[in-house]
Amino acid sequence: MRKLFHLTHSPIACYFRPSVRDFVVREIPLYEPSGAGEHLIVLVRKKELSTFEMVEILSNTLGLKSAQIGYAGLKDKHATTYQYLSIPRSFESKLSACSASLNERGIKVLEHRAHTNKLRVGHLRGNSFFMRLKKLTPLEAQKAINALEVLKDSGFANYFGDQRFGRDGQNYQEGEKILENLRITRDKKIARFLLSAYQSHLFNLWLLERMRLSAMIETCSPRELARNARGYGVPDCVLCDEGVLCALKEQEQFFKLLRGDVAVHYPYGRAFVIDDVGIESARFSKRQIAPSGALCGKKLISAQGVALEIERAFVDTRLREVGSRRYAWVWAQDVAYTYKPEVAQMELTFSLPKGSYATIFLETLLNRSLSQS
């Protein structure tokens, strides 16, 4: 899927390929281990392994079921990643005895402490990242620096990254086949993963539609939009009178809020339906709230009104997974960079909320897909 970004500079030319040297990910834990309890929180460093591959190695090496191993998030394979996992505390001595063997297979145990509960997906505050960009000329580096300064304040569209959809990008299609009974998957974990990829695909399509609408409102005058609404692709559900479009255009942020959107307090908090767009737009600009898109499923908090007319095209009611809302817009924190002209490289560090992709931040910065590297 081609993504639409909000920055207007020409694409930045450089080279980035995820590797253990040029891409480092560190989990930011939600809490510190208590020091007591039946579980063990383990910090590991892994290289060239997916989280699923790491869990399988630990399961086989320690002699415990993979279901007994908890983790807070899925981490990139082609990277050096520091992440937390949990195992029953009864395996503590075996973990110590097998540390050398694990290290040989790309898993280094760095520390471990007792805790009262097993780690669950989502039990993290966010992730910090290091990326090394190569073949970056001084001219392109200055463009990147200028864009970074804008991104610090503006935030960016929170697409799911391409890696969410598998090596060939088709995981979401396999998830849809499960819904259509065209694929039978006995492994419940794999089935949930593929269905989740399908949820993610629908979210990305919705976000792309809203980015297109926002771009039209941003670049066209209200009179042009009102006169040629269908020609510009403005959905019929957006009332195309000049007054309504003027109000949309007055919103400071690129992503335009609609009445009936579901917003969420940022960086975490409760969801609510937007009624007064003017008030919530001001809070959005101050990073107090952010709009959200649907990860469709049961118990989903749905948008209303105009926002629902757009959202319902990207909701599959056959999904019986638990639905949720995902931030459509997020902000990077702790952004820092060093440019080394003698080797034409930039070292970039930043942190993101959980569930957000460093590759999407980078694509927004470069204003192009990483597949064009």
The tens digit of pLDDT for each residue in 9-20 reads: 999 999 999 999
Give mean pLDDT, residues 71-90: 95
The residue with greater pLDDT, 66 or 237, is: 66
Does residue 239 surpass a pLDDT of 60? no
What percentage of the chain has pLDDT greater than the value 90?
79
The region of weakest confidence among 222-231, 241-250, 264-273 is: 222-231
Predicted confidence band of residue 234 (pLDDT cuts 50, 70, 90):
low
**Is residue 208's pLDDT more than 70?**
yes
- Does residue 201 carry a pLDDT above 60? yes
pLDDT band at 187 (very low <50, low <70, confident <90, very high): confident
* pLDDT greater than 60 at residue 128: yes
Across residues 143-166, what is the average pLDDT?
Answer: 95
Burial grade of 307 (CB within 10 A; 0-12, 13-18, 19 or more): buried
pLDDT digits (tens, 9 = 90+) for 30-74: 989 999 999 999 999 999 999 999 999 999 999 999 999 999 998
Whether the per-residue pLDDT at 237 is higher than 80: the answer is no
User: Hey, which residues are catalytic here?
Assistant: 76
156-191: b or e for each residue (b if 16 or more CB lie within 10 Å)? bbbbbbbbbbeeeeebbbbbbebeeeeeebeeeeeb
- Inform me whether the pLDDT recorded for 236 exceeds 80: no
Q: What pLDDT does 230 receive?
A: 67
User: What's residue 238's pLDDT?
Assistant: 67
Kindly state the average pLDDT of the residues 156-168: 92
Bridge partners of residue 256, in order along the sequence: none
Overall average pLDDT of the 233-248 stretch: 70
Instruction: Label residue 181 by pLDDT band (50, 70, 90).
Output: confident
In whole angstroms, give the CA distance from residue 177 to residue 167.
Answer: 18
pLDDT band at 195 (very low <50, low <70, confident <90, very high): very high
By C-alpha distance, which of 369, 363, 351 is closest to 25? 351
Note the pLDDT of residue 169: 86
H helices, E strands: number in the chain = 11, 14
The predicted pLDDT at position 220 comes to 86
pLDDT at 85 over 80: yes
- Residue range 20-37: average pLDDT? 95
Q: Are 267 and 353 in contact (CB under 8 A)?
A: yes
Query: What dihedral angle (degrees, nearest 10) is formed by the CA atoms of 218, 224, 228, 229?
Result: 40
* pLDDT tens per residue, range 86-117: 999 999 999 999 999 999 999 999 999 999 99
In angstroms, rounded to a whole number, what is the distance separating the alpha carbons of residues 322 and 245?
A: 35
Better pLDDT: 218 or 207: 207
Q: Tell me what pLDDT residue 186 has.
A: 81
pTM of the model as a whole:
0.93
Mean pLDDT, the chain, rounded, equals 93
- Over residues 305-328, mean pLDDT: 92
